[in-house]
Amino acid sequence: MSARAVTHLEWLGRAEALKLPDRLVIDGRLVPAKSGAVAPVVSPRDGACLAEVGDGGPADTDGAVAAARRAFEDSNWSRLAPAQRKAVLHRLADIIEANRDELALLISLEMGKPISTSWAIEMRTTINCYRWYAEWADKLSGETPDVGSDALALVTREPAGVVGVVVPWNFPMTLAAWKIAPALAAGCTLVVKPSELSPLSMLRLAELALEAGLPDGVLNVVTGGPDAGRALGLHPDVDVLAFTGSTAVGRHYLRYAADSNLKRVWLELGGKSPALVLPDADVQAAAATVGGNIFFNQGQMCTAPSRLVAHRAVHDELLAAVASVADELRVGDPLDPATQMGPLVSAAHRSRVEGYVEQAAAEGARVVTGTAASPRPGPATGWYTSPTVLDGVTAGMTVAREEVFGPVLAVLTAEDVGSAIALANDTEYGLAASVWTRDVSLAHRVSRRLRAGTVWVNCYEEGDMTVPFGGYKQSGNGRDKSVHALEKYTELKTTWIAL
């Protein structure tokens, strides 16, 4: 079974028949916002209102945190035998997989991701994440250091408590899973605040978690805007806050922690990731991979390779090849399985992205293909834009320094390997990078000099749950994925016993 096994017409029919979640999930119950307020969820594919969802605020956040605290202190989740937590998490993964079509459809409707991508990539990574951390639930162990014959020292790893999770709209299931799954495996309870642009899939997942047997109050979801997120960040009874989003908003969460209870704040933030293509590289492979990834998910990825650093020796061939990738992309309705690039998430975001292209042209960059060179693709309604390639970009241009978060590739030219590394590191971000060369020794030397949390060599966006993910510099702190993520949701306790 795959998304392509269902026709465009069939996906449209399923969308019309879909029952959309619209209530907050607090303490095991589906409830409206306490104020009675609702907010529309608008589909970027056609501008239609999908549903009116509870617009939660501080009062709802208070109720959700109180429920999570009761569940942590009074229920048996944190003290449940690890093997039993493992079984519940496996049931949750099974139920998510059984509802894969519905969740993939919700993602495509609410944020515009092509259905083939939602089904085959986002849902696959989400299911794998819950299964992977389910297996870790009964494998976390403590230590017994040898402190001599007069005492016994025990170091135990315990759940951190109530975890607040704030996630963006671009990967509403995957990015949430990277935080929810390890926190649950460790025995924590959670309050999740999804983006107001894409709350539907997260609400549905919380309903499925109850079906899987997660106790009431263990996983709560409060939908709403900045007020709900601010209340979670400031709440004195939240022990850990995990956030994925922009660097600007990440700074707010650090301030909230300083102004409340000094909760631990883990941040996965923006990126301006470079792809260095060196003279001996396979230019066609580099162009196909970099082009495929900057336009993947409409360029709405923190790791998107938005800066292509081309050695002058390969610049012309590389530019032509990557422009061809952009020109050949099929932009259209995300519910069409043949679509490769859907719309941007909102009208405001499209204006922002296209504004960067206009500013780049005004600063001296050349629009090779894309927004300013061709009419907008896609249906007449909805927030579609063109995959865009800019050449002649220099390090000081705005498009080379700020995160566009759209399908815009800035091509910079390097005279030699040293200047390519300097261009790559000339950014406040440090989330990811890639190096393209056939010289293994050179690949190692260049990778070691790049200031980024992940460096791919002759590939991009490769990996699995075993490897950590996170950034240097203003791309954040801590790591999602891998066993290292569990460190964010646990505390170490030393018990010293005199003998």
Please tell me what DSSP assigns to residue 478. Answer: S
Q: Is residue 164 within 8 Å of residue 219, measured between CB atoms?
A: no
Indicate if 49 belongs to the active site.
Answer: no
- Measured over all CA atoms, what is the biggest interatomic distance in the chain, rounded to whole angstroms? 79
CA-CA distance, 243 to 477, in Å (whole number)? 10
Residue type, 184: L
CA-CA distance, 101 to 5, in Å (whole number)? 11
Could you list the beta-strand ranges (E) of 303-400: 307-311, 366-369, 388-391
Q: Is residue 41 within 8 Å of residue 199, measured between CB atoms?
A: yes
Which of the residues 129, 188, 196, 302 is marked catalytic?
302
* CA-based R_g, the chain, Å: 23
Q: How many CB atoms lie within 10 A of CB 76?
A: 12
Instruction: Tell me the pairing of strands 366-369 and 307-311.
Output: unpaired
Nearest in space to 207 (alpha carbons), one of 195, 192, 197, 196: 192
Q: Is residue 52 within 8 Å of residue 22, measured between CB atoms?
A: yes
Q: Which residues, listed in sequence order, are joined to residue 203 by a DSSP beta bridge?
A: none
CA-CA distance, 31 to 193, in Å (whole number)? 15
Site of tokens 């061939």: 317
Indicate if 459 belongs to the active site.
Answer: no
For the chain, what percentages of helix, strand and coil (3-state, to nearest 5) are there?
A: 40, 20, 40
Distances (CA, A) of 93 to 129, 168, 180, 209, 229: 9, 22, 12, 9, 27
Going by C-beta distance under 8 Å and a sequence separation of 6 or more, which residues neighbour residue 25?
31, 203, 206, 207, 210, 219, 220, 221
Going by C-beta distance under 8 Å and a sequence separation of 6 or more, which residues neighbour residue 269?
244, 245, 246, 247, 250, 302, 429, 431, 471, 474, 475, 476
Which of the residues 110, 122, 196, 268 is marked catalytic?
268
The 3-state DSSP class for residue 494 equals strand
Active site residues: 268, 302
